[in-house]
Structure 1
């Protein structure tokens, strides 16, 4: 009999679609998170009355209770996860609590409890409550893919951002020394010149601060040209990482399809497993159908090619008076003539 902790883990596990209760819990939490974000936005409307604010408050209390129960249940049942190596009841849970998704779950409920113990600015509270939108990351394959790409490309993106930051410092320093005497208010310091550098390097060009000296214009032109590729570098790394991650997911699904087609057909159990894998990997039904049909066609072509090669070998063996199986010499025409004479 399955334990309560194991059942709790399977219900809260997003990749497990076997439990109807788990699907209901997922839908309920997604709706609750979406309503929380919507109500935080609506609270900023001037037309909201005090009574409506009271309703928002009690909805906030209800949401915090639900999210707190969810957080405690996830921490309690996390040791049932077969993917983690640390099964210790204490260290395993602490390790889970330090994961990005667990930290998000804690951050979205922590401000409510802090406001009960400390004097906290309500505007700061509202901003932290907006972080609940990141809880949807657990239920969105696209957001999980984004986090996976960010984690994989962290070093490359960090290096690109470091180069970009250095270029901002150099650009703001050069434009400061070129324009400070001509425009002491606009370029009062290097930190103030960083606003111009960021706006110029990102090609926004608000036009509120512009160089007027010859040296400043020359430097602005050089900085604008140099920054075109560097500013776009993090976006290029993300795009490349996205493409590679999507290809890896498709290759994983294609391997599953090939395993299911080894016996020549896909039964109901294999079809259910493939559908669950498709949902876990975030592959659309159209892409999954294309991969499936392409592998079936490839399988059929391989089978036909193998049969044709075997038939060709048998025909060649007969023409060369050889047995197609043991390659011994056999006089096929003489044997056929003898069989006719006997008949």
Structure 2
């Protein structure tokens, strides 16, 4: 029975990216015609609903299989990929709750786009990138704290300086936070801007600091992307695989690794590395 479930999960994992692509395409087509729903043929609208049900059932089956085959079920449920698997199907099942308003139902339908996060499971490159970001997570904390401090200081300064000169523009503190975010990214929508000399001078300084902070953030992502493209440390792996090769058990070893991967796709990088060194 576990072998059948493992084979079924492997098939689901293989077709997952294609199902996800079809799901997103149909969802955006559905969005295009949402405003004209009354003019849609009833059969066509029912088709959208049933396709969504089939796709949600597909991802629900994947989630159940992964729970069933996970060696440590609690660890899987708390893992990042486990949470992504849950979030990808949760909006569909919440949609059956009868007490939802039209606005809430629209929000639930929109949450289906969270299924795109499953690409971190289906794409080995994205998985490596996410793993690299997690490895470098200690660098995120100071960047996050610096960003928060900058936004708090800049929004408070501009609010105190400009609210008397432009009470209709900087009416509440939230207006200055919006301005600080827009200014720090140098987007500059132009809906809010300082008119006092002190406010304009402070804005110039804040823009310069904001550019530096944005540079730090992009630098972190660039480093994570670079690290994700670096090969794994080969020394121990080469020694292990050389011993496997000499004993003539490489076929059984690779087969066992692939079997493990079917129940735990996070094993992909290790299995691929062994495959490459054994040849």
For 1:89-125, what per-residue CA distance to the aligned partner results, in whole angstroms no more than 9, with x for missing partners? xxx3122111121122222222222222342322112
Aligned to 1:162: 145
After superposition, the CA RMSD in angstroms is 3.2
Instruction: State the partner residue of 2:189.
Output: 206
Task: Considering fraction of residues, name the structure with more helix.
Answer: 2
Q: Distance in 1 between matches of 2:234 and 2:5?
A: 28
2:228 corresponds in structure 1 to: 245
> Please, which moves more after superposition, 146-155 or 133-142?
146-155
Contact in 2 for aligned 1:211/1:217 (Cα 8 Å): yes
Q: Distance in 2 between matches of 1:67 and 1:25?
A: 8
Q: d(CA) in 2 for partners of 1:235 and 1:218? A: 26
| TM-score, normalised relative to structure 1 | 0.65
2:44 pairs, out of 49, 52, 61, with: 52
- Residue 190 of structure 1, CA deviation: 2.2
Q: Larger C-alpha radius of gyration, 1 or 2?
A: 1
Distance across 2 between alignment mates of 1:227 and 1:144: 30
Which residue is 2:55 aligned to?
Answer: 63
Shift of 1:144: 0.8
**Which residue pairs with 1:77 in the alignment?**
69
Distance across 1 between alignment mates of 2:85 and 2:156: 42
What is the CA–CA distance in structure 2 between the aligned matches of 1:54 and 1:7, rounded to whole Å? Answer: 34
Asked whether 1:184 is paired with 2:167, we answer: yes
- Alignment partner, residue 222 of structure 1: 205
8 Å Cα contact 1:9/1:74 also seen in 2: no
Do residues 5 (structure 1) and 2 (structure 2) align?
Answer: yes
Do the aligned residues in 1 keep the contact of 2:12 with 2:62 (CA within 8 Å)? no
Q: Which has the higher contact order (CA 8 A, sep 6+)?
A: 2
Gaps of 5+ in 2: 262-266, 271-275
TM-score normalised to the size of structure 2?
0.78
Counterpart residue number, 1:19? none
- Offset from partner CA, 1:256-297 (integer Å, 9 cap, x none): 5677679xx9x9x69x96xx99x9449xxxxxx9xx9xxxxx
Work out the CA distance in 2 between the residues paired with 1:74 and 1:261: 33
Find the residue that maps to 2:51 and give its secondary structure.
Answer: helix
In 1: Cα distance, 2:3 partner to 2:76 partner: 16
When residues 27 and 6 of structure 1 are mapped into structure 2, their CA distance, relative to the original with a 3 A threshold, is closer
Q: Structure 1 residues 119 and 139 mapped into 2: Cα distance closer, same or farther (>3 Å)?
A: same
Number of residue equivalences: 254
